[in-house]
Amino acid sequence: MIGTGRPLFVLFGSSIVQFSYGRDGWGAILADVYARKADILLRGYAGWNSRHALEVLHQVFPKDAVVQPSLVIVYFGGNDSMEPNPSGLGPHVPLPEFVENMKKIALHLKGLSDKTCVMFLSAPPVNEEQIVQTIGVRGRSNEACRVYSEACIRLCKELDVKGIDLWTALQQRDDWKTACFTDGIHLSSEGSKLVAKEILKGLREAEWKPSLYWRSLPTEFGEESVYDPISQDGRSNISIAQLEFSRSVQWE
């Protein structure tokens, strides 16, 4: 841990999380939006399901850590929802076990500290035809994603965890099948923008004290300085700590 004690956010999940710093991903968007406000750590593990996550939960989030996160954003469910293999191998996790695994994950994370808040992302939709065309595999269905997504959101309401319904949110866009994915599963830059928008909306609406919404957090070393760029009249400095001119999207 370095610096002046900014809030710590952790992104924990499968490939949707691991790949979120690439392709203009939603993790990179959050890191940009929260620059000088919070530190964001990536703990993404492609191919994982909730069962695998539960096995290492205490290693990734030890209860005796000196610094505990202010926020953990969790995503599992897409791999869990895949069709079961007769051999018993593979990522499929039956729905009741998935719900129980996610409940255990939520309770562990909420117990890390009084300040730790938890947000779950539900399974997003998939484009089944694109998966077959680009990856050449079957076993994922949009209907199964819906079932696991709805179960996740119900659990969030039960446990008072902030839930983001990605299955519904992405399909609000008419061209979601062609615009939101790189391969029918993983998010394109457009898909990531939608995810980031929903996360920021959820953070804005959450009734957490203190608020973790980016506009509510102080900017580190945000005070004006004589070292800031000089204005055109040459008589004052221009503080650039709060400027957002480098962003192609103005986030709310």
Which are the catalytic amino acids? 14, 183, 186
Rounded CA separation 61/90 (Å)? 25
**Is the four-CA dihedral 183, 186, 189, 191 of positive or negative sign?**
positive
Query: Per-residue DSSP letters for the chain?
Result: --TT---EEEEEESHHHHGGGSTT-HHHHHHHHTTTT-EEEEEE-TT--HHHHHHHHHHHS-TT-SS--SEEEEE--TTTTSPPPTTS-SS---HHHHHHHHHHHHHHHHTS-TT-EEEEEPPPP--HHHHHHHT------HHHHHHHHHHHHHHHHHHT-EEE-HHHHHTTSTTHHHHSBSSSSSB-HHHHHHHHHHHHHHHHH---SS---GGGSPPTT-S--TTSPBPTTSSSB---TT--TT-SS---
Give the number of other CB atoms < 10 A from CB of residue 236.
Answer: 12
Give the number of other CB atoms < 10 A from CB of residue 3.
Answer: 7
